[in-house]
Amino acid sequence: MSHYIPENLPASIQHFIDGQFVDSVGGETFDVLDPVSNESYVQAAAGQKADIDLAVAAAKRAFDSGPWPRMLPRQRSRILHTVADLIEARDQRLAELETFDTGLPITQALGQAQRAAENFRFFADLIVAQSDDTYKVPGRQVNYVNRKPIGVAGLITPWNTPFMLESWKLAPALATGNTVVLKPAEFTPLSASLWAEIFREAGVPDGVFNLVNGLGEEAGDALVKHPDVPLISFTGESRTGQIIFGNAAPFLKGLSMELGGKSPAVVFADADLEAALDATVFGVFSLNGERCTAGSRVLVERSIYDDFVARYAARAKAIVVGDPHDPKTEVGALVHPEHYEKVMSYVEIGKTEARLVAGGGRPDGLPTGNYVAPTVFADVSPDARIFQEEIFGPVVAITPFDSDEEALELANNTRYGLAAYIWTNNLKRAHNFSQQVEAGMVWLNSNNVRDLRTPFGGVKASGLGHEGGYRSIDFYTDQQAVHITLNEAHSPRFGTGGR
């Protein structure tokens, strides 16, 4: 089946180290597939330890002796605003490449490109408004916080919305004066190369931004184990997070981990049901369901359950699945055949565990490519695998509940705790439920709309630490306490024999 292929695709995907595009030292490469044809369309450099060593050395030089960490915040801020301008000016191209590489619908990829620009604007503004604490002990001491960038930050990112998630780490890491080595996901390396040109054009000095492509177990692993990388910010699966946690432990590195999710969307009978339907359908099927905060378990109060399930299934059946580049497409192609197999295996598991009410396999008319029909399972029991495990595709589990207590128990009954969505018009219930649900982020009567100042992160197996707003600034900086004595120092006089 022929499909849209963007013009001027690169002949190869290289690393970017110390201001230069380079191949791997040993010449290793890997294939990158287009998710619609599943054919390899380009070879990317497969970074090894030697490539990570070069990138970290360049980043360390730029940190130790380059201008970036020493610039006035306003100077860095201007450059980062230029980065945002350049992303905005290229949003169509970025979206086109992202859609081609990931299979995400083009309209949604465009929104993600714009969000990437916004991440840079936000942190460019935040660092010039940054203030730090000073504490006065009258007549005795002044204490102040000397905030400093930490050094070389290792950034490891996943393949869902790759460019936007990279921006989420790059913007605060760079804004605070660190230098970075980015290791993007191997399924989707295409858009990451654009950073190199954007940063160069904006005036980011050589060595500040370094990019090493490659597999997690090779390039990612070498970055995590590099002694000159004191910080690792990771977004990906909980299982990978555990491995990285272990590998970073001997070095006592600073870690920020945004991991998996199996977030509940809880619909009470008193909710605005049409709005809840819109949001819960969007919440799991947008971004192809490849979304960490997907509301992939919909819990529905028994009195409205049958009606809600019927309306939900009808919506899912009417979702437009197709060519990711077509602006009418609502669900595109999953990123990679390996991931497609994983999602399809859960669809088969679901058929043995629950009642299939929509989808359940490949959509009609799309015989090739990683397409999955939006799939809805109803009457899903909490011990079902499709209730407990992250599927990360267009598959949703719906479960009824009879009381607030049962709803809360079901909502909390997984190892994950990333997001929760609650639909009710009862104010007390809304707040009580929100405060008790085990989730890092809660949305009341809304889908996932996030103000960049708010904390982002999960609890339980969904993450470690919170980024977002000032919390990102805290992660990427040391807060050194400087204590100044204003009067005589009162030290006990050891070694004077009490005289």
Mind telling me the catalytic residues? 258, 292
Q: Which of 458, 465, 468, 469 binds ligand NAD (CB under 6 A)?
A: 458
Q: Give the residue among 59, 352, 349 at the shortest CA–CA distance from 223.
A: 59
Closer by beta carbon to ligand NAD, 122 or else 305: 122
Q: Which of 14, 240, 296, 477 binds ligand NAD (CB under 6 A)?
A: 240
Examine residue 237 and tell whether it contacts ligand NAD (CB under 6 A).
Answer: yes
Closer by beta carbon to ligand NAD, 305 or else 392: 392
Q: What tokens appear for 77 in the block?
A: 């801020």
Question: Which DSSP letter does residue 219 get?
Answer: I
With H, G, I as helix, E, B as strand and everything else as coil, classify residue 303: helix
Other beta carbons within 10 Å of 44: 24
Binding mask 274-313 for ligand NAD (x = CB under 6 A): ------------------x---------------------
Examine residue 418 and tell whether it contacts ligand NAD (CB under 6 A).
Answer: yes
Q: Give the residue among 379, 450, 412 at the shortest CA–CA distance from 262.
A: 412
Examine residue 263 and tell whether it contacts ligand NAD (CB under 6 A).
Answer: no
Contact 298, 397 (CB under 8 A): yes
State the Cα–Cα distance between residues 88 and 100, nearest whole angstrom: 19
Closer by beta carbon to ligand NAD, 111 or else 322: 111
Q: Which of 86, 259, 309, 430 binds ligand NAD (CB under 6 A)?
A: 259
Distance of alpha carbon 223 from the chain centroid: 19
Scan for tokens 């919909």, then name that residue: 298
Give min distance, CB of 94 to ligand NAD, in A: 18
Q: Which of 111, 149, 177, 261 binds ligand NAD (CB under 6 A)?
A: 261
Q: Which of 106, 156, 331, 378 binds ligand NAD (CB under 6 A)?
A: 156
Give min distance, CB of 272 to ligand NAD, in A: 28
Point out the residue whose Cβ comes nearest to ligand NAD: 216
State the Cα–Cα distance between residues 417 and 439, nearest whole angstrom: 4
Give the range of 46-54, 66-74, 255-263, 405-413 binding ligand NAD by CB under 6 A: 255-263
Give the range of 142-150, 194-202, 237-245, 377-385 binding ligand NAD by CB under 6 A: 237-245
Other beta carbons within 10 Å of 382: 14
Longest dimension (CA), the chain: 95
Give min distance, CB of 455 to ligand NAD, in A: 12
> Apex CA 231: angle with CA 251 and CA 177, to 5°?
140
Binding mask 158-197 for ligand NAD (x = CB under 6 A): xxx----x-----------------x-xx-----------
State the Cα–Cα distance between residues 477 and 482, nearest whole angstrom: 15
Give min distance, CB of 468 to ligand NAD, in A: 10
State the Cα–Cα distance between residues 294 and 343, nearest whole angstrom: 14
Contact 324, 333 (CB under 8 A): yes
How many residues does the structure list for the chain?
499
Closer by beta carbon to ligand NAD, 424 or else 462: 462
Query: Which residues lie below 8 Å from residue 373, measured CB to CB, with a gap of 6+?
Result: 321, 358, 359, 360, 361, 362, 363, 394
Q: What DSSP line would sit under 235-254, residue for residue? A: ES-HHHHHHHHHHHGGGT-E
Give min distance, CB of 288 to ligand NAD, in A: 12
Residues in 201-230 at the binding interface with ligand NAD, rule: CB under 6 A: 215-217, 220-221, 224
Residue ranges binding ligand NAD (CB under 6 A): 156-160, 165, 183, 185-186, 215-217, 220-221, 224, 235-237, 240, 243-244, 258-261, 292, 390, 392, 418, 458, 463
